[in-house]
Amino acid sequence: MTGAASGLASGIAAGLARDGFARVAITWRESSPEETLARIRAAGATASATQIDFLAEQHEIERALELCVSEHGPFDTLVHAVGPLRFAPLERAEGDAFRAMFDGNVRSALLAARAVLPAMRAAGFGRIVAFGMNGSAQAGAAPGLGLHAAAKSALVSLLRTLAVEVAGSGITVNAVEPGDIREKTLERAEARKRPAANPVGRAGSYEDVLDAVRFFVAPERDFITGVVLPVTGGLQGPHERNIPG
């Protein structure tokens, strides 16, 4: 699982280990992966971590991914959680922000998928799941998040195309759109006690997103591919800020 040293992905990686994944490999960039590795091992799985900067030069990323696959693979499941976010009106967004949004969200997913696809094709089985953002499947307006939203919509298009291209090899490709989940380590039991500005009325948790990932990566889910599943508490897009009570 990429980008799993912290945030939602950390809890999801540990959750998949509890579900029975015997080996869970994660990537990290800056935050120490030790806490996530400990959670994975506590769940009974073998854990490993590879440092990969998905904003580096392409050949560096490909080399790091190749090393990860050769040392810790082959992998039949990829959950890609890398995806930087920056706030800025479009007219004030700098060039480095454009590169970070598209390289970090779109190129990263393509390179990660390319690294694991050969083994998946050889096995005749694979599951790929990546994270969009609320509303990315509709390519809607997202004031202040324009570059991020554009990159996530491009990612959804890329995933849907990849889903069609690899469908005959027993590989599914899907996306999850997490909503406005402010506390990334919050468990569902606690989230249910906290109000939030969405139609359901309570905060989201990493376990809510984990449920969607579980659905897509299940071995029996071979007929569902190219799908985008929002996990948003009913929010319909990033432009929604005020929900009538």
CA 12, distance to chain mean position in Å, is 10
The domain total for the chain is 1
**Would 95 be classed as within a structural domain?**
yes
> What pLDDT sits at residue 29?
96
Q: Residue ranges of the chain with pLDDT lower than 70?
A: 238-245
**Would 243 be classed as within a structural domain?**
no
**Would 1 be classed as within a structural domain?**
no
**Would 133 be classed as within a structural domain?**
yes
Count Cβ atoms below 10 Å from residue 141 Cβ, excluding itself: 12
> What pLDDT sits at residue 150?
96
- Helix (H) / strand (E) element for 178: namely strand 171-178
**Would 31 be classed as within a structural domain?**
yes
Distance CA 32, CA 166 (A): 34
CB 100 within 8 A of CB 86: yes
CB 228 within 8 A of CB 174: yes
> What pLDDT sits at residue 94?
85
**Would 173 be classed as within a structural domain?**
yes
Query: Over the stretch 144-178, which tens digit does the pLDDT of each residue have?
Result: 999 999 999 999 999 999 999 999 999 999 999 99
Q: What one-character-per-residue DSSP string does 94-143 give? A: -HHHHHHHHIIIIIHHHHHHHHHHHHHHHHT-EEEEEE--TTGGGT---T
> What pLDDT sits at residue 244?
34
Distance CA 10, CA 13 (A): 5
Provide the residue range defining the domain that includes 73: 7-231
Count Cβ atoms below 10 Å from residue 155 Cβ, excluding itself: 25
Q: What burial class does residue 239 get, using C-beta atoms within 10 Å of its C-beta: 0-12 exposed, 13-18 middle, 19+ buried? A: middle
**Would 84 be classed as within a structural domain?**
yes
**Would 241 be classed as within a structural domain?**
no
CATH number at residue 23: 3.40.50.720
For the question of whether the overall pTM of this predicted structure is more than 0.75, the answer is: yes
> What pLDDT sits at residue 95?
82
